[in-house]
Chains A and B, each alone.
Chain A
Amino acid sequence: MSLDRSVTNSMPANRKKLMNRSKRRTGRRHPLATVALLALGLVFTGGAYAALSSGSVAQAEAEPTSQETIEEGKKLFQANCATCHGLDAQGNNGPSLIGVGAASVDFQVGTGRMPMQMQGPQAQVKPPQFTDEQVKQLAYYVASLGPGPDIPADHLVNGGGDAANGAELFRINCAMCHNVAGAGGALTEGKFAPALTGVSGVHIYEAMVTGPQNMPVFNDLNISPEDKRDIITYLKYVQDNRSPGGFELGSLGPVAEGLLIWIFGLGSIVAITVWITAKSN
């Protein structure tokens, strides 16, 4: 991320040209995008409420990098994270966090993966241990230690992009681990790519830029911010639009379909055969 900034600026324009050539824009916003926006609004309201009730000032939202926020974050960090990551985040049992950026902290702590409960193949999702406010404080403290990816802006994660482009990028870059419908999949030695249903746009974006656990990093030169927005748009589309065919069976593919036809299909039919051939009394 600390790479050549000039490249960063020139690339999306280049990409945009290619995109226009392939004419994938629909210019349509799904009605449920409004719902998603509302939900996001609620999340932020909840965050503000938590902030107020915990007695601190809700200004962190407006001025995230204020010295006060960073100080609060430092305290939280030293109390909760330093055992593994070191007092100054330089790494101890756990990795160094210098330069991982606010996005990484927001993802790891915001999804409850950190602090880790126990050692395992990979950190598990849990209910978050901190309020949104505290997560932000931690994030900006870590961000202050070295430059790294920031928490994405709202317009990139609200699902207002091009679902078709997002779907294609998702299939090429993500589906092999997360499954085409985002249902998740297995990795080696007990690790797995989690299901993406119910994961917020912000966290998906942050995961792409930071590459948590064994996930590769998808920096902005690989998948531009607009492309990331499109991927999130696609995932929201899949989540908001139930399958036209009926129940999805977990979107797990032929295995689930096979189980259904054997257990429910043939099972009910065998029950019926027993009824048909039973002597009526």
Chain B
Amino acid sequence: MAQDDNSGVDLVAADSSHAEQEFAGSTGTAVIPRDAFENPGFEPHRPRVTDENPKREKRAQRTVYTLFYLSILGSVWAIAAYMLFPMESNDVGAVRLNNMFVGIGVTLALLGIGFGAVHWGKSLMTSAESIDIRHPISSTPATQQGAVEVMRQADEESGFSRRTVIRNSLIGALLAFPLPAVVLFRGLAPQDQLPVELLSHTMWRRGTRLTLDPSGTPIKASDVTIGSAFHVVPEGLAELEHGKLEEKAKAAVLLMRLEPSQLNPAPGREDWAYDGIVAYSKICTHVGCPVALYEQHTHHLLCPCHQSQFDVSNNCEVIFGPAKRALPQLPIAVDDEGYLVAQSDFNEPVGPSFWERH
């Protein structure tokens, strides 16, 4: 131990540039007892069975080359399996066999080399340990001095600290030059879009029919029986040329029918439902997963991503989980032919909160 400490101090002595040294001492708050034990030095070398018993050595040798041969076998098998187990079109089972047998061949090839090499190293290679001497990581004071001298000379020759105007203008230029590159990244988002505007509106308009996802079949109010849950998209979504998924990501709606007596509409929302049929945005107000788990007896909606729960009978207010806001409700009505239609767009932005939302 004493030996350790001395060497520790030696290392610190080489590292004399620390101002704090006078204060904390080189060893900090470490306690170095005067009569600590001394390092007893290396243990005597213990020979292995393979060093002493030629039979065992032979056996180890056999094991090693057997493993290497097994590896070759594995490689051959993997190539053979590639051909023996073709991938038949439309047959998942063939893929499974191909994957498994090619994989097993490759595994054998790799493990054979691996275990063989390690076994060789462990049992047959001379087991003497090597000893490296560590040197302090920091360079010697002379080298440090040399480096300081080089820098001083460079400074003097260039006048870097003397010619302050040149220096400061260079620093300014270096700070400014990456800025255009940063500005270029503005192009990542379209130039002509206003995010807040886009996030505040969906495809729903007055009179847009509610249709089934994915078929686009319009839904009659009479189709929606008590306890049903319909996954709904606005009419015409499938016909969109562009932005189908973007619109769907905002406009997806879950349609449910409860007994009208089980609904407690908030003031102003009394006529947003139709005979117990309510439509709520399916996009979670937390971070936007589809809230689609509807429990028909408890009237709870659950988001499978972060477990926010919403109470359908109570305007989809949050009852559990990290979401804060109720799911936006889509006001619905019935048109002349009895189909469910939207009264208007949502009255608030759907989906996750964003900074400009208020």
What 1/0 flags go to A159-196 for Cβ under 8 Å of B?
00000000011001100110000000101110101000
Question: Of the 9-residue stretches A34-42, A209-217, A255-263, which lies at the interface with chain B?
Answer: A209-217
Question: Of the 9-residue stretches A44-52, A67-75, A78-86, A243-251, which lies at the interface with chain B?
Answer: A243-251
Q: Main secondary structure on chain A at its contact with chain B?
A: loop
Question: Of the 9-residue stretches B170-178, B200-208, B298-306, which lies at the interface with chain A?
Answer: B298-306
Q: How far is the CB of A70 from chain B (nearest CB, A)?
A: 26
Number of interface residues of A (CB under 8 A): 43
| Bound-complex Cα distance A167 to B101 (A) | 29
Contact status A3-B231, CB under 8 Å? no
Q: How far is the CB of A175 from chain B (nearest CB, A)?
A: 9
Question: Of the 9-residue stretches A105-113, A139-147, A218-226, which lies at the interface with chain B?
Answer: A218-226
What 1/0 flags go to B292-310 for Cβ under 8 Å of A?
1111111010101000010
Contact status A211-B227, CB under 8 Å? yes
In the complex formed, the residue of A with least CB distance to B93 is A241
Q: How far is the CB of B212 from chain A (nearest CB, A)?
A: 7
Q: Is B222 an interface residue (CB 8 A)?
A: yes
Q: Main secondary structure on chain B at its contact with chain A?
A: mixed
Q: Which of B50, B215, B224 contacts A15 (CB 8 A)?
A: B215
- Given the known interface contacts A11-B217, A172-B214, A187-B293, the answer about A244 and B230 at a Cβ–Cβ threshold of 8 Å is no
A5-30 CB contacts (< 8 Å) to partner B: 7, 11, 14-15, 18-19, 28
Contact status B309-A188, CB under 8 Å? yes
Q: Is B259 an interface residue (CB 8 A)?
A: no
Q: How far is the CB of A100 from chain B (nearest CB, A)?
A: 11
| Bound-complex Cα distance A219 to B219 (A) | 12
- Given the known interface contacts A15-B215, A222-B223, A243-B96, the answer about A217 and B228 at a Cβ–Cβ threshold of 8 Å is yes
Q: Which of B50, B90, B213, B229 contacts A216 (CB 8 A)?
A: B229
Number of interface residues of B (CB under 8 A): 47
Q: How far is the CB of B165 from chain A (nearest CB, A)?
A: 59
Q: Is A155 an interface residue (CB 8 A)?
A: no
Q: Is A58 an interface residue (CB 8 A)?
A: no
Question: Mind listing 17 A-B residue pairs with CB under 8 Å?
Answer: A3-B222, A3-B225, A4-B222, A7-B220, A15-B215, A18-B215, A189-B298, A211-B227, A214-B296, A216-B227, A218-B229, A219-B223, A219-B225, A222-B224, A245-B96, A246-B100, A280-B123
